[in-house]
Amino acid sequence: MTNKDKPALTTERERFYEKIDKEHLAPLWTVLSDLVTPEPSSACVPHLWQYGPLKRYLLESGGLITAKEAERRVLVLENPGLRGTSKITTSLYAGLQLVLPGEIAPAHRHTQSALRFVMDGANGHTTVDGEKTIMNFGDFVITPPMAWHDHGNQSEEPMVWLDGLDIPMVSLYDASFAETFDQDAQPLSKGTGDSSARFGANMLPVDFNATGLASPIFNYPYARSRESLDVMRRQEEWDPCHGLKLRYINPVDGGFAMPTIGTYLQLLPKGFSTAPYRSTDATIFVVTEGRGLTIIDGQKFDWGPKDIFVVPSWKWVTHVVSDDAVLFSFSDRAAQQKLGYWREDRQHN
Ligand code: 1HN
């Protein structure tokens, strides 16, 4: 059924299609091969955004609108194959957010879950369901579905982070709810560090019962994840496709930190070239350290610190590393695995 040509369009058939069209009916056989493809076929294309221009435009936007007026002052990273849809991949949204010193991005909540990956600045903060956490470079911070969240910056420097949300997935299901809080900053009900003390020490409160699918830890500090990679590398055991790659987990069940989005941090040493790899989860990579180039479907993308690039579903990818590199990445793999769709393919022995 999959590779067949479409049935020919005859005058008789065309007349029939026009007739049934008025009744909101359509013939499957004219569209079937586009609906059920033998392998992933995506409008999403490979792309790289260099951080330099991104940051300049973001700071320029800081002179045009406040975080409060914008609600969120964000430049959306739109995939060139998906312009006008606010999507970086078919299933994910990404944008770069700026919070200037003294600003507050006001409290709200929504069905969509969000991740933050801190790109620039130090000592910014976000409050999630009554607990404030300080954000520094490389920290991975989550906002679970329907959790109240507001952001602030009491430092002297602009804070910039990458937001990743499952907006297209929630839209697909027409399941979006959102509310604003009646104050800019929500009141604090827990001390800073409470969730990492309870859940981030390889222990759980006895009799703990999870209430949702998101991790109860909401800040995964870069220093800790980075140190794990550094200690692991002494073993010199490299995965041919991934180098050293760690997945951020929900400590309650070892699952993904977020219900729909899988998040990872990997180390690729200088001189390493990864074996060709492809998977069904289109992936957004953030270069946290190092330099190299990535070949996606034969197309070359040179990268350096803080650049952001996208690998679409089922495209072969190879990384060639010129300086010790650390890559943060995220994709819809958490959702795909829960639904039983996810597949991968490797070219090595
Ligand atoms: C949102 O709530 C944030 O909380 C950022 O920082 C980006 C994009 C679309 C919808 C909600 C945030 C967002 C967003």
User: Does the Cβ of 114 fall within 6 Å of ligand 1?
Assistant: yes
Pocket test for ligand 1, best of 99, 103, 163, 181 (most atoms within 8 A of CB): 163
Q: Which two tokens stand for residue 17?
A: 């299609």
- The answer to whether position 3 is within a domain reads no
The whole-number pLDDT of residue 336 equals: 98
Of the candidate ranges 1-10, 91-100, 284-293, the one whose mean pLDDT is the lowest: 1-10
Confidence of residue 3 (pLDDT cuts 50, 70, 90): low
Q: How far apart are CA 121 and CA 73, in angstroms?
A: 16
Q: How far apart are CA 126 and CA 105, in angstroms?
A: 9
Q: Which atom of ligand 1 is nearest to the CA of 143?
A: 4
What is the sign, positive or negative, of the torsion defined by CA atoms of 109, 142, 256, 284?
positive
Q: How far is the CA of 137 from the centre of ligand 1 (A)?
A: 19
| CATH number of the domain to which 89 belongs | 2.60.120.10
Q: How far apart are CA 291 and CA 308, in angstroms?
A: 12
Q: What pLDDT, in 10s, does the model give residues 245-268? A: 999 999 999 999 999 999 999 999
- The answer to whether position 54 is within a domain reads yes
- Residue of the CA atom closest to atom 1 of ligand 1: 72
User: Does the Cβ of 72 fall within 6 Å of ligand 1?
Assistant: yes
User: Does the Cβ of 132 fall within 6 Å of ligand 1?
Assistant: no
Residue 283 has pLDDT above 80, yes or no: yes
- The answer to whether position 186 is within a domain reads yes
Structural domain of 69: 47-346
The whole-number pLDDT of residue 273 equals: 98
Q: How far apart are CA 49 and CA 304, in angstroms?
A: 11
User: Does the Cβ of 97 fall within 6 Å of ligand 1?
Assistant: yes
Pocket test for ligand 1, best of 68, 72, 167 (most atoms within 8 A of CB): 72
Q: How far is the CA of 150 from the centre of ligand 1 (A)?
A: 10
Q: What pLDDT, in 10s, does the model give residues 233-242? A: 999 999 999 9
User: Does the Cβ of 165 fall within 6 Å of ligand 1?
Assistant: yes
CB 107 within 8 A of CB 187: no
No. of helices (H) and no. of strands (E), the chain: 8, 20
Pocket test for ligand 1, best of 61, 68, 71, 74 (most atoms within 8 A of CB): 74
The whole-number pLDDT of residue 5 equals: 85
Percent of the residues in the chain that have a pLDDT greater than 90, as a whole number:
98
CB 158 within 8 A of CB 63: no
Q: How far apart are CA 208 and CA 225, in angstroms?
A: 25
**What does pLDDT average to over the chain?**
97
Q: How far is the CA of 22 from the centre of ligand 1 (A)?
A: 41
What's the domain count of the chain? 1
Q: How far apart are CA 24 and CA 17, in angstroms?
A: 10
- The answer to whether position 41 is within a domain reads no
Q: What is the 3-state secondary structure (H, E, C) of 317-343?
A: EEEEEEEEEEEEEEECHHHHHHHCCCC
The whole-number pLDDT of residue 244 equals: 98
Q: How far is the CA of 72 from the centre of ligand 1 (A)?
A: 6
How large is the average pLDDT for residues 124-136? 98
- Residue of the CA atom closest to atom 3 of ligand 1: 72
Confidence of residue 348 (pLDDT cuts 50, 70, 90): confident
- The answer to whether position 42 is within a domain reads no
Q: What pLDDT, in 10s, does the model give residues 184-229? A: 999 999 999 999 999 999 999 999 999 999 999 999 999 999 999 9
Selection from 95, 94, 99, 150 nearest residue 121 by Cα: 99
Q: How far is the CA of 109 from the centre of ligand 1 (A)?
A: 9
- The answer to whether position 61 is within a domain reads yes
Model's pTM, two decimal places? 0.97
- Residue of the CA atom closest to atom 6 of ligand 1: 72
- The answer to whether position 55 is within a domain reads yes
- Residue of the CA atom closest to atom 14 of ligand 1: 72
Confidence of residue 47 (pLDDT cuts 50, 70, 90): very high
- The answer to whether position 13 is within a domain reads no
